[in-house]
Structure 1
């Protein structure tokens, strides 16, 4: 929302910094301003650092909520109520407030009080059981996927709630769970199971509708010995074009003439493709096949996406943290682009960086009151 132009204020604890503030910085030590995750997800936000364990701190936050359109929290169910900031209290402060709760699981379910981490929700949703190679153990995908799917669902949900508020004048309390967000991505697999009664198998990089469809080894590069290229053939015509590059033996092989035959002999086909790709540069293979009309792409390292790929290099904007002016911080832009509008991101804030602007500018407190809040430990 901040990237789209909304004024977003992140309320941070002045006594218990969250995990994003304790990530390792470029010097190999914890740095509250230079952690990668902080600089990714807090772009464009403002920071108010306050001690919610004090009456004055809680009162300050209530004042701020009274000026807001939306309140979002990522706590376990019931945490806001225990802090004295439940939905009923918020409605007294701002009758048309929209409160969005983003817990791991729903407050009325048996998992309401369970701690939820990304890998736990991935497993519980069924996602991990579908990921990996047939006959092998389930696998994760390397990142906490629920943490990144839920916010995108959150944006559309909040826009709908604001539309209703503008139309009817009503606020809204919303429960959007990260677990439900993950389950919603598996609609096709659920339909297959309900229709056939058969559990979908782990299929690695293969696809039931396309063959070949996989990731194949490539020549080592200056960055890594671990290089790969992705290839997807979607029709028999594409296969004939691709097969002509694999050599006459493969092109004329009756085992691979149709999609059905290729699926029946997929192991053998993948072995032949690996022999062809292994001694070649992944970028050259991808460029060659794309020129022939066959979908292909290098499997990119982060170094590739930032330094070598001319398409993805434009996805990043370099920002500077005042605490480390010697280091450029690459930040990924939003995927959406508005034609004719050059959208510039603003860096992630330091802890409590906008305390003065928020307390004195938005809430109208005097300089003397602000100083006293600092002295009393209400602001950090």
Structure 2
């Protein structure tokens, strides 16, 4: 639970731990109503690139969590909500709603991932806020869309992986439908939402008008199917589970070694030629069944058995060195600790360090892209619930007396 003062206000964090806010989005203010994963994934893109992101939460006494219960100091929550300020408001109180509406006047983006009907009940839907600020870009993430037969269903990543086709092509057929080991629908929806909001902001620069951005987990999941979806739409092919093999490009998959496993990707003709040369089995190129990309895909079981018999003769390090010299696409299969110990990952500075007020030094996952002049920032850890309430309300023009009264009445 967050530390609080005797007045019920959050105890301030060490201000020296936060760097000044700057970056390419420093002139953008986001009111963040999102919860759980998809929405916070979207808004993290703004927070890391300098936007003033105000995370709006319910007051502590309402006992409404962000969807993570008591795990605010856990790795997931800390990774999702860094670089934000936190403001508590009871949006069901007319005075709390008035505070929110005042903030909308000076905001650029409002983001929410409630069930579609909730925003209308609260009076914070796009049309209501557009009347206050026509330039507002309003982002909504839902499980299945803002309308339609499934609109009111609760949307969860696991459910959408199944409905969106992912589980029908993932894993081994013998094991049945298999979910991905990451929240692929949630994360994809969040990233698509961020891209959509950026697009709307870019358009606003010429039109002067905001708009309503809508993203669903279901649409994001289907979009992520990419070529697998296109195979059905264009050719009527229904993709099946291919295990660790590529659906069409063979040999691409996982191969056993004397001490573990490695990945090889050599389906393309020139790459396959380099593979068999590096392995000393160039005679495989002369086998009619393996001489073309189509043939290798059709006869994948026999070809994989041939290659696996050879890869088992030496350890993973041996083969990776051989393939490196031969310009063959291959790589280790790392556990999470090995991922972050990898020299290239260290060079790219994927892990970023922040100083937490109670946990000490923590590491989070940094941005996956770089800008040469305006890099992303890891300025501050996830705020305490309501940590910046006084500061934000003062900026909005409320007096100390006003703020004290809000606390006393449970408005904030």
Question: TM-score per shorter chain, which class?
Answer: 0.7 to 0.9
CA contact (8 A) 2:248 2:297 kept: no
Which residue of 1 is the match for residue 409 of structure 2?
A: 376
Q: C-alpha distance in 1, partners of 2:296/2:333?
A: 23
Match for residue 97 of structure 2?
58
1:22 aligned residue (64, 70, 83): 70
On the 8 A contact 1:218/1:277 being kept in 2, the answer is yes
CA distance in 2, matches of 1:52, 1:283: 58
Please say which of residues 37-46 and 193-202 is displaced more in the overlay: 193-202
Instruction: Pick one of 317, 324, 335 that aligns with 2:368.
Output: 335
Q: Deviation string for 1:169-189 (max 9, x for gaps)?
A: 222122221211111223433
Contact 1:131 1:138 in 2 (8 A): yes
Query: SS of 1:8's equivalent?
Result: strand
Q: Give the Å deviation of 1:209.
A: 4.7
The residue aligned with 1:299 is: 333
**Stretch of structure 1 that moved more, 268-277 or 348-357:** 268-277
- 1:186-214, CA deviations, whole angstroms, 9 ceiling, x for partnerless residues? 34333322343331222223235532110
* Structure 1 position 2 matched with structure 2 position 47: yes
Separation in structure 2 between the aligned mates of residue 309 and residue 298 of structure 1, nearest angstrom: 10
Match of 1:175 in 2: 214
1:241 partnered with 2:274: yes
2:84 maps to 45
Q: Secondary structure at the match of 2:149?
A: coil
CA shift at 1:272, angstroms? Answer: 3.6
CA contact (8 A) 2:50 2:377 kept: no
Checking the alignment, whether the CA contact within 8 Å between 1:21 and 1:35 is kept in structure 2 is no
Q: Could you say if the C-alpha distance between residues 245 and 251 of structure 1 is closer, same or farther in structure 2, counting changes exceeding 3 Å?
A: farther
Between the aligned partners of 2:94 and 2:386, the Cα distance in structure 1 is: 19
SS at match of 1:323: coil
1:224 match: none
SS in 1 for 2:57: strand
Rounded Cα–Cα distance in structure 1 between residues aligned with 2:285 and 2:88 = 69
How far is the alpha carbon of 1:109 from its aligned partner?
0.7
TM-score, length-scaled by structure 1 = 0.86
RMSD (Å), alpha carbons: 2.4
Aligned-residue offset at 1:239: 2.8
Q: Residues 288 and 350 from structure 1, CA distance in 2 versus in 1: closer, same or farther, beyond 3 angstroms?
A: farther
Unmatched 5+ stretches in structure 2: 1-45
Q: What SS does the corresponding residue of 1:378 show, helix, strand or coil?
A: coil
1:88 aligns with 2:127: yes
Give the superposition deviation at 1:116: 0.9
Q: How many angstroms does 1:114 deviate by?
A: 0.6
TM-superposed deviation, 1:318? 1.1
1:321 matched to 2:356:
yes
Q: Please show how residues 17-166 of structure 1 align to structure 2 within 5 Å.
A: 17-20=65-68, 22-23=70-71, 32=72, 34-134=73-173, 136-166=175-205
